[in-house]
């Protein structure tokens, strides 16, 4: 068996992403926000994105979801080494995703603040929350932890800093879970989980850079996301220099 088969590389194209949404719809799942209380009389899915590397890819996924008539929840970082949510480009991406009808939340990084207890957790979520709300002109209701640790796994309250915790006991108890962490299905394949008659309430987690137009290994998908991001920035800067008319020739000749 090849790695492509073993790790289901073909699952992680944007075309297949659309197909997975259609399977969820065919199986009767309602796509709900985290603020919704569990309804045992219907099949429900909390369809979530932790935006880690390239919000432009998250936007492509948001557009697919919009076309398929569903709403997901996008969790954004404030302390990412890969994107700055308050850069104009990414603030616009945020608002485009929101304007497509999707929900949004804070993807909170305990390690950035060196948080050691739940009191500090309340304090710093409140701080990040107020900054994100103020800068983007939106309200926040929900957060997810970035990079779970033994400490974050012990934080099981329904809310911290006034925001709903997607890793709280409530969601662990009431919803099955399927995620694409590290670019493959570490436990069960999403397609199989969606088709499992015993799964009626589900939380799905995907990450932007784990998905691409073409079939690639997880590492190549990640590299492509980073390279595309860099290319966009290079093009933007060079186009700007052209507009100013002061672009120096790109060689060492006279
Ligand atoms: Zn994360």
Q: CA end-to-end span of the chain, whole Å?
A: 57
CA 30 to chain centroid, in Å, comes to 19
For residue 108, the number of C-alpha atoms closer than 13 Å in the C-beta half-sphere is 35
DSSP single-letter state for residue 111? H
Q: Answer whether residue 180 is part of any domain.
A: yes
CA of 164 to the centre of ligand 1 (A): 16
CA of 146 to the centre of ligand 1 (A): 4
CA of 144 to the centre of ligand 1 (A): 8
CA distance 174 to 230: 41
Query: Structural domain tally of the chain?
Result: 1
CA of 76 to the centre of ligand 1 (A): 9
DSSP single-letter state for residue 187? S
CA of 80 to the centre of ligand 1 (A): 9
Q: Answer whether residue 253 is part of any domain.
A: no
Full domain range(s) for residue 204: 3-244
CA of 89 to the centre of ligand 1 (A): 21
* The predicted structure's pLDDT at residue 166: 98
Q: Answer whether residue 251 is part of any domain.
A: no
Instruction: Tell me the pLDDT tens digit for each residue of 158-208.
Output: 999 999 999 999 999 999 999 998 899 988 999 999 999 999 999 999 999
Which token pair is 61? 């996924």
CA of 208 to the centre of ligand 1 (A): 11
CA of 216 to the centre of ligand 1 (A): 21
CA of 253 to the centre of ligand 1 (A): 47
Q: Enumerate residues 6+ apart whose C-beta is below 8 A from 118.
A: 155, 157, 160
Give residues whose Cβ lies within 5 Å of ion ligand 1.
50, 146
Which token pair is 171? 């969601």
* The predicted structure's pLDDT at residue 254: 57
CA of 69 to the centre of ligand 1 (A): 26
**Which CATH number does the domain housing residue 216 bear?**
3.20.20
Q: Answer whether residue 250 is part of any domain.
A: no
* The predicted structure's pLDDT at residue 13: 98
* The predicted structure's pLDDT at residue 28: 98
pTM for this one? Answer: 0.95
CA of 49 to the centre of ligand 1 (A): 9
**Which residue stretches of the chain have pLDDT < 70?**
246, 253-254
CA of 50 to the centre of ligand 1 (A): 6
Q: Answer whether residue 254 is part of any domain.
A: no
Q: Answer whether residue 201 is part of any domain.
A: yes
CA of 148 to the centre of ligand 1 (A): 8
* The predicted structure's pLDDT at residue 116: 93
């Amino acid at each position: 068996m090849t790695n492509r088969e073993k790790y289901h590389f073909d699952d992680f194209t944007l075309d297949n992403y659309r197909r997975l949404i259609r399977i969820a719809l065919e199986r009767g799942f309602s796509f709900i926000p985290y603020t919704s209380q569990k309804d045992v009389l219907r099949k429900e899915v909390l369809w979530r994105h932790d935006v880690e590397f390239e919000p432009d890819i998250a936007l492509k996924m948001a557009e697919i979801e919009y076309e398929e008539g569903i709403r997901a929840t996008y969790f954004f970082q404030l302390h990412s080494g890969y994107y700055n949510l308050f850069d104009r480009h990414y603030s616009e991406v945020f608002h485009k995703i929101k304007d497509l009808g999707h929900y949004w939340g804070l993807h909170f990084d305990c390690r950035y603040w060196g948080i050691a207890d739940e009191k500090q957790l309340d304090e710093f979520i409140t701080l990040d929350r107020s900054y994100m709300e103020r800068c983007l002109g939106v309200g926040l209701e929900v957060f997810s932890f970035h990079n779970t640790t033994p400490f974050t796994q012990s934080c099981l309250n329904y809310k911290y800093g006034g925001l709903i915790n997607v890793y709280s006991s409530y969601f662990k108890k009431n919803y099955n879970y399927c995620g694409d962490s590290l670019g493959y299905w570490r436990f069960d394949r999403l397609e199989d989980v969606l088709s499992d008659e015993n799964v009626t309430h589900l939380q799905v987690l995907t990450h932007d850079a784990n998905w691409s137009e073409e079939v690639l290994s997880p590492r190549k998908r990640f590299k492509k996301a980073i390279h595309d991001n860099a290319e966009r920035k290079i093009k933007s800067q060079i186009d700007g220099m052209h507009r100013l008319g002061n672009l120096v020739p790109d060689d060492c000749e006279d």
